[in-house]
Amino acid sequence: MRRRKGLPIDGWINLDKPVGPTSTQAIGRVRRLTGAARIGHAGTLDPLASGVLPIALGEATKTVPYIMDARKIYRFTVRWGEATTTDDVEGEAMAWSEIRPTAAEIAAMLPRFLGRISQTPPRFSAIKIDGKRAYDMARAGETVEMVPRWIDIHGFDLVAMEDSHHAVFQVETGKGAYVRALARDLAVALGTVGHLSALRRLAVGRFRAEDAIALDFTAPPSDIDGLIEHLLPIETALDDIPALALTADEARRLRSGQSVGLFTHPHRNWLAELMAEGRDGGIVLAKSQERAVAMVRIDKAEAHPVRVFNTET
């Protein structure tokens, strides 16, 4: 078996991506700085967007699907009166309007965008259609039919009116929401057109902008030291998932792929609390001596390994 090159570094880097680099370039930067063998990220940010880009190293990549489902918070600016082909400043202008909504009109409209709503993703997006990326088809001049889908909007507030042409918002979304599409649809609902002119992601689950690490993407990688000091534990992405405490022997059994019976008094009490919360039958985090051991499925007083973390003990 061919061995993977790189260092066995496990954990998360909460990166504050600047405007300019792509998410792929940000990952490459962190890879060169850390020398990690495996790396991935949770939630792409466009080059024109800044903010929280959680980057997983090593065994933390196994928890990426859980953070992808986490709520996200964005601060963004809408430019009224001009629609673009991409729904942001990168596209070409394709429609215009002289209508500029007032703060009162905007505030009255926002409740219509709360809760579960239908949203049609932008044509210039990474969604696949018949095996092709939508943005590749759109750039090639092909007809792109985007299918509406349901998304969740948990909070939507008007933050400021910079001038008659621009308004700043903060929104908390669930999985799969496009802020560009939200800006576009809000403008249409207000009787005008508009596009996204600025975007910053403030949070992805437990990862927050105020705690994120900024990197100088113009400096040589060798000139930036200490990134590994900001490494967060694997379980950072699993903050809202119940934790099951195991002994060292139980942890060894899980790591070898065996199930663990939860029959001791502490385990029975834990199971009772889990059932009271309606979480029985779900996925929980197994830990031993405060270290992540595995994601496990609880079934009939047994913990069955789903994803084992092969970290050094």
Q: What is the mean pLDDT of the chain?
A: 88
Mean pLDDT score, 21-46 = 88
Structure token digits, residue 289:
């001596």
223 band by pLDDT with thresholds 50, 70 and 90: very low
| pLDDT tens-digit readout, 230-288 | 899 998 988 778 889 999 999 999 999 999 998 887 888 888 887 777 665 678 899 99
pLDDT at position 32 is 86
pLDDT at position 2 is 45
Predicted TM-score (pTM) of the model is 0.88
pLDDT at position 75 is 98
Mean pLDDT score, 283-299 = 89
Mean pLDDT score, 130-147 = 71
Residue 249 catalytic? no
Which percentage of the chain shows pLDDT scores above 90? Answer: 54
Residue 135 has pLDDT above 90, yes or no: no
Mean pLDDT score, 113-140 = 78
pLDDT at position 56 is 94
212 against 302, higher pLDDT: 212
188 against 223, higher pLDDT: 188
Q: What is the CB neighbour count within 10 angstroms for residue 160?
A: 12
313 band by pLDDT with thresholds 50, 70 and 90: very low
| pLDDT tens-digit readout, 84-107 | 999 999 899 999 999 999 999 999
Q: Rounded CA gap, 310 and 201, in Å?
A: 31
269 against 119, higher pLDDT: 119
pLDDT at position 310 is 84
Which percentage of the chain shows pLDDT scores above 70? Answer: 89
Pick from 150, 145, 141: nearest CA to 123:
145
218 band by pLDDT with thresholds 50, 70 and 90: confident
What is the residue type of 173? Answer: T
pLDDT at position 192 is 98
| pLDDT tens-digit readout, 49-94 | 999 999 999 999 999 988 888 999 999 999 999 999 999 998 999 9
Choose, from 10, 16, 46, 185, the residue flagged as catalytic.
46
Contact present, 295 and 307 (Cβ < 8 Å): yes
**Domains (range + CATH), the chain:** 11-70+207-236 (3.30.2350.10), 72-199 (3.30.2350.10), 241-308 (2.30.130.10)
